[in-house]
Amino acid sequence: MIELAENRYGKSRVRLMKVTRHDHGQDLREWTVQVLLKGDFDTAHLLGDNSKILPTDTMKNTVYSIARTSKAAAMEDYAKELADFLLSRNPQVSSASIHVESTLWKRLTVDGKPHPSAFMRGSGELQTTSVERAHGGTFRVRSGLDNLVLLKTANSGFEGYIKDSLTTLPETKDRLFGTAVSAEWHYTASDVDFEGIRKTIRETMLRTFANHDSKSVQQTLYAMAESALEEVAAIDEIEITMPNKHCLLVDLSRFGQDNPNEIFVPTDEPHGYIEARVRRKP
């Protein structure tokens, strides 16, 4: 016996740039949106009957249309509006899931002052959110960030680990610690100040990374997660991934030179990979 199991469909990588114009200048947001719908789509799979299928091209157009009318500054609030609109028009849909990635644009500073209408692209960091709602249900909101590239040149070491016949890594009390942080946290409510909370979580984790006396990536990861949970009551768990982007000390002795921890080769592959989910105790 063969049967259709869970399925969903939608539109992905819908790119949207929105300019909000004010008398004093403009605000700029660039979002990449994914829409995924679950529901009564069995006949499309089994019989080729598309009578319950909303075209994904229509979803793309909906992304732009809701953006035009939306007053939301936070992408989480925009995602909620988009999900509600799709659910209200499609009774065959049981739940709508919206994922948004936000690209960083920074206002240009010209002659020491923020320019009202000129911007420059920030780093490769992305701000993210995933918003899901079922018919008659409440919103589930998870937000985060991706590819937050960090490096510290002091207060990081790695010692006391297992050593066997295949171990060649020397212990160190002083190493470069580079990583590209990805984090995702779960909100306990869906009507909070998303922008303010995101800023607080990000700044808290950055401060912890900078000040932490790191004995391992694992220890620093936990300290960053712990500080975010202690600082923000509106989240109940956070998952963090921190690859260890190695910077290898160059051996200059063959050139008759010393290397007092100053010359390194940055490498991306292979790299260590550390992740953990930290939550409040029930």
pLDDT in tens, 103-156: 999 999 999 999 999 999 989 999 999 999 999 999 999 999 999 999 999 999
11 belongs to the catalytic site: yes
Same domain, 134 and 14: yes
Structural contact between residues 139 and 132, judged by C-beta atoms closer than 8 angstroms: yes
Same domain, 19 and 128: yes
Q: What is the pLDDT of residue 60?
A: 98
Q: What is the pLDDT of residue 267?
A: 92
Q: What is the pLDDT of residue 24?
A: 84
- Provide DSSP, 129-190: EEEEEETT---EEEEEEEEEEEEESSSB-B-S----TT--PPPBSS--EEEEEEEEEEES-S
The Cα diameter of the chain in Å comes to 77
Residue 23: pLDDT over 90: no
Residue indicated by tokens 């800023």: 199
56 belongs to the catalytic site: yes
The one catalytic residue among 11, 60, 212, 245: 11
Same domain, 34 and 72: yes
Question: pLDDT tens for residues 39-49?
Answer: 999 999 999 99
The one catalytic residue among 60, 186, 245, 246: 246
Same domain, 178 and 218: yes
- As a whole number, mean pLDDT of residues 51-72 equals 97
Assess if residue 197 is contained within a domain.
yes
Number of domains in the chain: 2
The one catalytic residue among 32, 56, 58, 153: 56
CA angle 92, 93, 96 (to 5 degrees): 170
The two structure tokens encoding residue 48: 């080729």
pTM: 0.92
115 belongs to the catalytic site: no
Same domain, 163 and 59: no
Q: What is the pLDDT of residue 199?
A: 97
Q: What is the pLDDT of residue 255?
A: 96
Last residue of a domain, one of 99, 121, 138: 138
Alpha helix positions (H), 189-264: 194-211, 217-231
Last residue of a domain, one of 120, 138, 156: 138
Instruction: Name 63's Cβ contacts closer than 8 Å, sequence gap at least 6.
Output: 11, 14, 16, 33, 35, 82
Same domain, 105 and 38: yes
pLDDT band at 25 (very low <50, low <70, confident <90, very high): confident
